[in-house]
Every structure is written in C-alpha cells, then in structure tokens.
C-alpha cells in the first residue's frame, strides 16, 4: 500500500478504515485505496466540527411574488407567446432531480420507477415522458431531458429506461448524470465502513446538482446547443410542469436569471419551507427555523406574509447555472440510520439514527442572483407530490390530484 494513503488516514484519525485490510483480496484492496484517495477528509473534518453550529443569524424579510391567476390578459398573452418561441427554437431543457433515497416512501428502487396506482398504473418516469411527448406534439421539438441520479440508484434508473424503451422518447434526448457524494460519519467523526473494503458514501443533497452539471460538462453541451433555460424539478411531483410557456416567457420578459414557482401554504403551520429574503437575498426558510409569530403574520389583506412555499420547480438561466456551478453551497447535517461493519467484522443493521449525513439544498442557490421571480401557481394544477407511503403526500393523494387535473383539462378541451 502506498505510504501516502496511510499518512492521509493517520492525519485525520481515520486509520480504522484499514482494520480488515489484511483479509481483503487484491482487487478489494485497490478499491478501498482508490476510495481513500478521492475522499476529501479535510472537508469532512470541517463539517463534523461545525455540525452543531447554527446558521448565521440573518434578517428575514418578506419577498415579492406574482400570482399567475392575477396577471392581466395582455401580459399573459405576451409571456405565453415569448415562451412558445423559446420552446420551439430549442432554448429549453428539463432536469428531474432523482438522486434522493426516497426513505419515507420506502419503495424498493429509484423513486421515478414507482408505479403510481392510476386506472392504468404508470411509473413516475412514464408520466413525465408522456408530458414531454405532448410538448413534442404541440411544438415539434424533443425537449432534452436530463435526469440526475446518485451512485446509489444510477444503474437501476438507466436499466429501467432501457427496459421500458425510453417510453418511446428519443434515447439521444435523454441524459443521465450522477450527483456527488459525501462520506457519512459516526458520532466520533469517523467514516463508516459498510463493507470491509468500502467507506459508506451518500448523495450530497439536491443542491449537488450545480456542481454535477458543471463537472459532467453538461452546461458546456447545453451552451453548444444554444439552450438558455433549464427547468429543474423534483422527480416525485407527478404534476410537475417545467415546460410552461407563460412562465418561461415571463422570466425572459422580466430579464431574470431564475424563477421558481410557489404555492400558497394550506395553513400557517404547514411543514414546508417558505420563500423570503435572508440577509437581503432571496432564499427559503425552513418551517423549523421560522418563529410561530412570523408563520402567522398576515398582511392588510389577511394573506400570510410568509405564505409562499417552494415546492421544487425552478427555471434557471444557463448563465446563472455556470456561476453557481463554480461556487460551493453550504452543507446541512442530518442524523440518519446507517448500517455498518462492527469491530468484529459483522455487518450491523442500524435500528436508530447513528450517523451524520451532509447535504446541500437547491434553494441555497437563490442567493446567487439579486432577483428571483417567484410565481404563485395553483396547487391543484401543479403539485401532486409522492413523499409518504400513506396519508398526506402519498400515492393515493397524488393520484386523486392527478386525475382531477386531467379531468379538468379534458373538460376544457
Ligand atoms: P426529498 O428531500 O423529498 O428526498 O427530495 P427524497 O430522497 O426524495 O425522500 P426522503 O426524504 O428520503 O423520504 C426532494 C427531491 O430532491 C431529490 C429527490 O429525488 C427529490 O426529487 N434529491 C434529494 C436528489 O436528487 N438528491 C439528493 O441527494 C436528495
């Protein structure tokens, strides 16, 4: 073994990684060594030391937003026209963030492969593919479709597309890219072995998308193709509406580099993050960080001042993506369950949380531009999330919302 590897582990108090080294095959030894070489232990050290640190106290202020249904007809027409032009001329691409673990849903496989119990059951990916096919019918373009996966689900995701023949979407228009990963740490700040020759690494949060787009040269490719807007959304929303002419045209017309959709909170205590200004910059404050008084604050019209929730549907200009890709977003710690190899070499299944996972959040990118256009849309038209197995935001509630919206569209046509 190279001396450099031992030195690196020693420097950061991680020598336990080699506890089973002598039992490993040559191949396994190389694999472990390669992994150690790549891991940034100095970053992990810093994250562990700062994990209890509260986010800097910053002033929270309300932020302006627009309401789609209240736009004047003249405006609607203008934006829609502009947006349609952008779509037709191939300036728009979309990306589903699909690297999450979907722990709450507990589906065995990537979330996008989950079969939604519609009258004819369809996977989440198929539902999205059908939406893009409708766009093709209307605009005669095949929208480039990017899917962000993680190490944990990349292969399974691609296999699913292969098995389903890309849902009849042109294969060359579908691209997968992997987000980054970070090692998980035990309560002593030590990395965790999940095999005798492997350190447990987990996806680095949906904020990892910017670095991943940059690192995988996707931004470069998009620029070559003259793509100017990337709609980015959560894979688990089956009403996700990214190729939305009015929205795209409005962002162009207002000359903003970022627009995100919002929905009005159902009630002041709903457990969702809301858009606001943090230290003078656009951002999202989590429900855990907002005081009860602020959560209940109403304006003169009786509307919640902090009542617009971000639900994972955003439109980024390529120039802004380039700027963010070169920056670092903050990491947020979470305490999770992580199976591990114990000192006796046995694999232990964690029954309770035992390890730190560090993730960055996509909305921490809002601060890299001075102005974000927040557009309030109707929940029942655009937001049908599948998060939990049962109850709120489950397959049952999403199915109802999806079917009701389809019916509404049919009645309109
Ligand atoms: P969630 O925060 O709801 O996480 O992700 P999740 O993994 O889907 O579900 P739980 O919390 O484990 O139950 C919101 C969106 O961000 C994506 C998810 O795939 C989802 O579309 N995401 C999340 C990533 O792409 N990568 C991540 O590392 C985390």
For residue 157 and ligand 1, the question of a CB distance below 6 A is answered with no
Residue 99 alpha carbon, nearest atom of ligand 1: 25
Lowest mean pLDDT among 15-19, 195-199, 327-331, 343-347: 327-331
Nearest CA to ligand 1 atom 28: 205
For the residues 311-324, what does the mean pLDDT come to?
97
Asked if the model's pLDDT at residue 385 lies above 80, the reply is: yes
228 and 133 within one domain:
yes
Ligand 1 pocket, 100 CB below 6 A? yes
pLDDT at 53 over 90: no
Please state the atom number of ligand 1 nearest to the C-alpha of residue 101.
7
pLDDT value at position 174?
Answer: 98
The residue whose CA is least distant from atom 15 of ligand 1 is 234
Together in a domain, 113 and 254: yes
Pocket of ligand 1 contains residue 179 by CB under 6 Å: yes
- Position 412 scores a pLDDT of 87
pLDDT at residue 1 is higher than 80: no
Q: Taking the complete model, does pTM exceed 0.85, yes or no?
A: yes
Give the H or E element holding residue 232.
Answer: strand 229-234
Residue range of the domain that includes 25? 1-38
pLDDT of the residue at 285: 95
pLDDT for 117: 96
Integer Cα distance of 249 and 47 in angstroms: 41
pLDDT of residue 386: 98
- Give the up-direction half-sphere exposure of residue 351: CA atoms within 13 A in the CB hemisphere: 0
Structural domain contains residue 157: yes
Residue 303 placed within a domain: no
* Residue bearing tokens 């002598």: 22
Within a domain: 150: yes
Helix (H) or strand (E) holding 177: strand 174-178
Q: Is the CB of 110 under 6 A from ligand 1?
A: no
- Same domain? For 33 and 121 the reply is no
Atom of ligand 1 nearest to the CA of 96: 21
154 Cβ below 6 A of ligand 1: no
Q: Which of 94, 100, 233 to mutate to test ligand 1, by most ligand atoms within 8 A of the CB atom?
A: 100
Residues 98 and 182 in one domain: yes
Q: Is the CB of 257 under 6 A from ligand 1?
A: no
20 domain-assigned: yes
Judge if the beta carbon of residue 244 lies within 6 A of ligand 1.
no
Does residue 8 sit in the same domain as residue 152? Answer: no
196 and 253 inside one domain: yes
Atom of ligand 1 nearest to the CA of 149: 25
Q: Is the CB of 235 under 6 A from ligand 1?
A: yes
Cα dihedral angle (90, 82, 72, 232), rounded to 10 degrees?
Answer: 30
The number of the ligand 1 atom at minimal distance from the alpha carbon of 359 is 28
The closest-lying atom of ligand 1 relative to the alpha carbon of residue 209 is 25
The protein residue whose alpha carbon is closest to atom 22 in ligand 1 is: 100
Cα-to-chain-centroid distance, residue 374: 18
Q: How far is CA 58 from CA 16, 33, 55, 276, 278, in A?
A: 40, 42, 8, 12, 6
pLDDT band at 396 (very low <50, low <70, confident <90, very high): very high
Residues 2, 119, single domain; the answer is no
Ligand 1: atom nearest CA of 387 is 13
Does ligand 1 come within 6 angstroms of the Cβ of 111? yes
pLDDT at 2: 81
| One domain, residues 25 and 173 | no
Cα three-residue angle 135-245-263, rounded to 5 degrees: 105
Asked whether residue 56 carries a pLDDT value surpassing 80, the answer given is: no
In a domain, 101, yes or no: yes
**How far is residue 268 CA from its own chain's centroid?**
25
Q: How many domains does the chain have?
A: 2
CATH number at residue 84: 3.90.550.10
Any ligand 1 atom below 6 A from CB of 261: no
313 Cβ inside 6 Å of ligand 1: no
**How far does residue 114's CA lie from ligand 1's centre (Å)?**
14
233 lines ligand 1 (CB under 6 A): no
Q: What is the mean pLDDT of the chain?
A: 96
What proportion of the chain, given as a percentage, has pLDDT over 70? 99
Mean local confidence (pLDDT), 390-406: 97
Q: How many CB atoms lie within 10 A of CB 91?
A: 19
Q: Atom 23 of ligand 1 has which residue's CA nearest to it? A: 100
227/322 same-domain check: yes
| Smallest CA separation from ligand 1 atom 2, residue | 100
Examine residue 284 and state whether it is found in any structural domain, yes or no: no
Q: Is the CB of 203 under 6 A from ligand 1?
A: yes
**Stretch 382-396: mean pLDDT:** 97
User: For residue 289, is it within any domain?
Assistant: no
Taking the CA of residue 203 as reference, the ligand 1 atom at the shortest distance is 28
Mutate to test the pocket of ligand 1, among 98, 112, 206, 391 (most ligand atoms within 8 A of CB): 206
Say whether both 138 and 25 belong to one domain: no
Give the ligand 1 atom nearest the CA of 98.
19
Question: CA–CA separation, 104 vs 390, rounded Å?
Answer: 10
Q: Quick check: is 296 in a domain?
A: no
pLDDT for 55 beyond 70: no
- Looking at the structure, tell me whether residues 80 and 127 fall in a common domain: yes
* pLDDT 10s digits, 154-199: 999 999 999 999 999 999 999 999 999 999 999 999 999 999 999 9
Mean pLDDT for the stretch of residues 281-298:
93
Q: Is the pLDDT of residue 218 over 80?
A: yes
Both 186 and 74 in one domain: the answer is yes
The alpha carbon torsion through 235, 238, 242, 246 (nearest 10 deg) reads -160
């Amino acid at each position: 073994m190279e001396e450099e590897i031992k030195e690196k582990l020693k420097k950061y108090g991680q020598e336990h990684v080699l506890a089973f080294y002598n039992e490993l095959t040559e191949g396994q030894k190389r694999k472990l060594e390669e992994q150690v070489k790549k891991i940034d232990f100095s970053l992990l050290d810093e994250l562990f030391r700062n994990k209890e640190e509260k986010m800097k106290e910053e002033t929270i202020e309300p932020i302006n937003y627009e309401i789609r249904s209240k736009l004047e007809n003249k405006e609607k027409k203008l934006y829609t026209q502009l947006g349609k032009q952008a779509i037709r001329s191939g300036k728009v691409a979309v990306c589903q963030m699909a690297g999450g673990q979907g722990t709450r849903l507990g589906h065995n496989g990537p979330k996008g492969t989950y079969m939604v119990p519609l009258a004819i059951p369809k996977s989440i990916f198929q539902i999205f593919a059908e939406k893009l096919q409708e766009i093709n019918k209307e605009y005669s373009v095949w929208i480039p479709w990017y899917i962000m996966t993680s190490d944990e689900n990349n292969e399974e995701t691609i296999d699913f597309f292969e098995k389903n023949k890309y849902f009849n979407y042109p294969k060359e228009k579908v691209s997968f890219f992997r987000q980054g990963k970070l090692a998980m740490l035990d309560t002593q700040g030590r990395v965790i072995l999940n095999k005798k020759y492997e350190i447990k690494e987990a996806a680095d949060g949906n904020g990892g998308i910017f670095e991943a787009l940059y690192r995988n040269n996707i931004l470069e490719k998009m620029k070559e193709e003259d793509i100017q807007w990337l709609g980015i959304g959560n894979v688990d929303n089956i009403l996700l509406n990214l190729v939305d002419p009015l929205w795209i045209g409005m962002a162009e017309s207002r000359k903003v580099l970022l627009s995100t959709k919002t929905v009005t909170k159902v009630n002041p205590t709903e457990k969702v993050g809301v858009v606001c200004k943090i230290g003078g910059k656009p951002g999202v404050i989590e429900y855990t960080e907002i005081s009860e008084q602020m959560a209940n604050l109403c304006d003169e019209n009786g509307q919640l001042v902090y009542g617009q929730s971000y639900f994972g549907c955003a439109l980024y200009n390529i120039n802004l993506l380039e700027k963010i890709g070169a920056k670092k977003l903050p990491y947020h710690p979470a305490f999770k369950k992580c199976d591990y190899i114990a000192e006796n070499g046995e694999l232990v299944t964690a029954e309770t949380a035992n390890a730190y996972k560090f993730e960055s959040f996509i909305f921490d990118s809002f601060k890299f531009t001075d102005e974000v256009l927040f557009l309030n849309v109707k929940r029942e038209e655009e937001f049908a999330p599948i998060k939990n197995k049962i109850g709120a935001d489950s397959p049952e509630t999403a199915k109802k919302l999806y079917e009701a919206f389809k019916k509404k569209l049919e009645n309109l046509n």
